[in-house]
Amino acid sequence: MLVDFHCHTTVSDGVYTPSEVVRLAAAAKISSLAITDHDAVSGCREAAAAIKREKLPLSLLQGVEFSIEAGEDEVHMLGLAIDDQEPRLVERLHAFSADRENRVYKILAKLEKLGYSLTPEEVFAAAGDGAQAVGRPHVAAALVKRGYFNYVYEVFDKLLYNNGPAYVSHLKPSLKEAIDLTHAAKGLAVIAHPYGISDQSVLEEAARLGIDAIEAYYPQHTPEQVKHYKAFARRHGLKVSGGSDFHGIKNKYPHKLGVYAISAELLNLW
Ligand code: AMP
Ligand code: FE
Ligand code: FE
Ligand code: ZN
């Protein structure tokens, strides 16, 4: 049985709509899929409706990916199997996405000074209809569309990397708040792609604050890293999760859903 507990849709920075994503998952013989858009849960409803309507053989976990305020590193945390209607969670996610919208104008002001001219409309068009969480990938896509760059990754490498020349931060919960919001919504709090966290004390802190699981299986993890994070989970009494972080972006592995799916027996979330 194959599962994938991390993937994105057009509601944040994915290429495929929630309906398309669940169709792709079913076609790839994935039996359980979590939709985890950045700062937004609105894709979960559409995905659930598509599964029902088209009788797809797939179980859906409603999820979300939080960006965490935690020093220099980009720390992300997933809320898995959440109640997407939980009022406190819904309210905070609205605040995060509203702030993301404001941030677009701030990024554009920085870009203007750096000699790159772009309108907010071009960025919102790149994010597309139904996008709840506009972000750096959409700014990058708009710059590519304008012809300033050939690829999105070039924009990240030159301008938009963390604390780079056109970088602007956005409203983020602390790790504690993200864990609390997830637990209030009856979900599991999972540290996403831990290889990106250079400061190991962040992981120790997460364990102390009541994180439930760690995403040990992740496409960019080496076999040694998988082992390392499984051992970390064992030591701290955490569960083990895994996901592909599928966005459907051409130059970002995995570009196809299902090429990195995980055997359910390797995980122990429930
Ligand atoms: P944001 O949340 O708006 O700060 O944007 C961060 C997101 O950009 C990450 O979660 C990734 O999905 C995406 N990202 C980061 N680096 C790259 C890259 N080199 N190419 C494409 N997308 C990227
Ligand atoms: Fe993303
Ligand atoms: Fe992430
Ligand atoms: Zn992700």
Instruction: Point out which residues pair with 239 in neighbouring strands.
Output: 213
Q: Please tell me the distance between residue 15's alpha carbon and the centre of ligand 3 in angstroms.
A: 15
What residue's CA is closest to ligand 1, atom 2?
Answer: 135
If one counts every other C-beta atom within 10 angstroms of the C-beta of residue 176, the result is: 14
| Alpha-carbon dihedral angle through residues 261, 9, 152, 69, given to the nearest 10 degrees | -90
pLDDT of amino acid 74 = 87
Q: What is the mean pLDDT of residues 167-184?
A: 97
C-beta separation of 37 from 132 below 8 A: yes
Question: Does pLDDT of 73 surpass 90?
Answer: no
152 lines ligand 1 (CB under 6 A): yes
Residue 56's SS3 state is coil
Q: How far apart are CA 43 and CA 23, in angstroms?
A: 14
List the end-to-end C-alpha distance of the chain, in Å, as a whole number.
15
Q: What is the mean pLDDT of residues 102-129?
A: 97
106 lines ligand 1 (CB under 6 A): no
Closest to 52 in 3D by CA, of 15, 8, 10, 22? 22
pLDDT of amino acid 250 = 82
C-beta separation of 118 from 108 below 8 A: yes
pLDDT of amino acid 37 = 98
Can you read off the two tokens belonging to residue 111? 């870009």
Q: What angle do CA 41, 47, 51 make, to 5 degrees?
A: 150
Q: Please tell me the distance between residue 270's alpha carbon and the centre of ligand 3 in angstroms.
A: 22
Confidence grade of residue 87 (pLDDT, cut at 50, 70, 90): very high
For ligand 1, what atom is nearest to the CA of residue 156? Answer: 19
| Alpha-carbon dihedral angle through residues 101, 41, 179, 106, given to the nearest 10 degrees | -10
pLDDT of amino acid 72 = 81
C-beta separation of 18 from 84 below 8 A: no
What residue's CA is closest to ligand 1, atom 23?
Answer: 137
> Residue 12: what residue type?
S
What residue's CA is closest to ligand 1, atom 5?
Answer: 136
153 lines ligand 1 (CB under 6 A): yes
CA 21: distance to chain centroid? 14
Q: What is the pLDDT of residues 19-42, one digit of tens each?
A: 999 999 999 999 999 999 999 999
Q: What angle do CA 20, 184, 208 make, to 5 degrees?
A: 105
For ligand 1, what atom is nearest to the CA of residue 138? Answer: 3
Q: What is the mean pLDDT of residues 92-119?
A: 98
pTM > 0.85: yes or no: yes
Domains of the chain by start residue, with CATH: 2-92+175-266 (3.20.20.140), 103-160 (1.10.150.650)
Can you read off the two tokens belonging to residue 151? 């690829």
pLDDT of amino acid 251 = 80
Q: What is the pLDDT of residues 44-71, one digit of tens each?
A: 999 999 999 999 999 999 999 999 998 7
Question: Does pLDDT of 225 surpass 90?
Answer: yes
Q: What is the mean pLDDT of the chain?
A: 96
